[in-house]
Chain A
């Protein structure tokens, strides 16, 4: 009988650790921040994320299509949680960063983790996120673990010294082009 409270506790705890469905409609407080979006279709929110103010959405799994929201990463903090602070420290956000430093920060984060062995920032253009001036950039990269060529498109801005960044990443082959329209639609609904 003593098992029962444990089972109840487990059952109650499960939704908190499981992936969850993102239904169409307004969704505020993405990545525990001011970011809000209104997805048209359904997405899956992964419970496994890289950091405190990071939220990951996917359709078919994060290796195939992945949107990462970085919500208000402040000065001195890293984009992702540091797995090995001693041997692979990640670069920190600085309040004085220019918009053009955002792609470099993403690339340095990926390379410093040791997983990404090839990466290039392909284009950088001015954009707006909500009402803020932002940078929209595209990139391509390869991880040593699966050696799949991936492409990415992202938008980022600095608000009061904190970084807001949304990235879309998918394999260049088939998936990136298939789902880019869904990402862009989501991006158009993004509010900050």
Chain B
């Protein structure tokens, strides 16, 4: 890895990031955060903590290059990001998903795409307070320049579920106007008719 010119500390950073995500998942589920150094008797792999530690120690001896080429990685991943985020939101892992969005936002700021995904995440959990926050994220996403009509769909459904029917109508009508032949257009119309 050092010969390739990548910073060798990245190998440890991967495991640290994974542990941080697991922590966020556990906290989101109201569970205790726990990482152990030693593998259990039946474990087939070393634990994340031991990997992060010995990889960091090894990286200290041979630091390698300085450019992780993160920009190229992000550019290559960009076309798939909406699909990956949509799948993550359906994992029933609120804490972990919100952590991932936050980590992405740390490196590139809260883009419209990330705000939209956050709106979808909060709408999926669907507590009254979540629905209110979801409408805020959707509107922030719009303000940040996110223009896909699905934003109006999410916003409308969040408002509708939260009992704000008039505002919901407006947003869902905007979605239907932009996507008259969407695969759920008739269902959304039926919701509006209620």
Contact = CB atoms under 8 A, between A and B. Distances in A.
Interface string B17-42: 00000000000010100000000000
Contacts of B190: 99, 126, 133
Contact of A135 (B31, B91, B187, B194): B187
Contact of A111 (B31, B91, B126, B157): B91
A74 interface: no
Interface in A105-155: 107-109, 111-112, 119, 122-126, 133, 135
A32 to B, nearest CB: 25
A98 B191 contact: yes
A40 interface: no
A119 B89 CA distance: 12
Nearest to B163: A96
Interface stretch (A1-9, A13-21, A51-59, A83-91): A83-91
A104 interface: yes
Chain B residues touching A, range: 20 to 34
A109 B91 CA distance: 8
Nearest to A118: B87
Contact of A99 (B87, B93, B128, B191): B191
Contact of A108 (B92, B184, B187): B92
A153 to B, nearest CB: 14
A33 to B, nearest CB: 24
Interface residues of A, number: 25
B126 A97 contact: yes
Given A100-B157, A101-B161, A111-B87, A90 B187 contact: no
Query: Of B92, B191, B194, which is in contact with the most chain A CB atoms at under 10 Å from its CB?
Result: B92
Chain A CB within 10 A, most for which of B128, B183, B187: B187
B164 interface: no
Contacts of B194: 133
B91 A123 contact: no
B29 A122 contact: no
B187 A99 contact: yes
A94 interface: yes
Given A86-B31, A123-B183, A98 B157 contact: yes
B91 A108 contact: yes
A111 B184 contact: no
Contact of A101 (B87, B126, B183, B189): B126
B129 interface: no
Interface in B86-107: 87, 90-93
A108 B46 CA distance: 30
10 contacts: A91-B92, A96-B161, A100-B184, A100-B187, A111-B92, A112-B92, A123-B183, A123-B184, A133-B190, A135-B187
Q: Lowest 6 CB-CB distances: which A-B pairs, in order?
A: A126-B190, A124-B184, A112-B92, A124-B187, A123-B183, A108-B90
